[in-house]
Amino acid sequence: MVALIVGVICVLFAVYSVLPLEGWGLFWWDEVLQVLKGGIPLVALFIGLIAILIGVADIRDRIEAKKEEEEEKAEAEGTGEEKGSSE
């Protein structure tokens, strides 16, 4: 319940701070735009870096999975030959 009240208060303050009404509001819209203009490239940079890291990790996982499949295949072929020669 406290989180809901704090959330409503924060939203109301955000709306109040950017309202362009004469005599009411803090007129911070220009400052908000400056923050957005400076923040959007940084957010895009971080998203790009995270996407690159995820892509590299995915490639490594695929290579590791191929190696494991080859090892299992070789192991299965090796045990099959041993059973055939012991008979």
Cα dist from 7 to 21, 24, 32, 61, 62, whole Å: 23, 22, 19, 41, 43
Q: Cα–Cα distance between 76 and 69 in angstroms, integer?
A: 10
What pLDDT does residue 81 have? 58
pLDDT means over runs of 10, the chain (87 residues): 96 88 81 91 95 97 95 85 54
Nearest partner of 30 among 19, 40, 39, judged by Cα? 19
The model carries a pTM of 0.58
Q: What is the pLDDT of residues 35-55, one digit of tens each?
A: 989 999 999 999 999 999 999
Tokens 């892509």, residue?
Answer: 55
Cα 16 to its chain centre, rounded Å, is 31
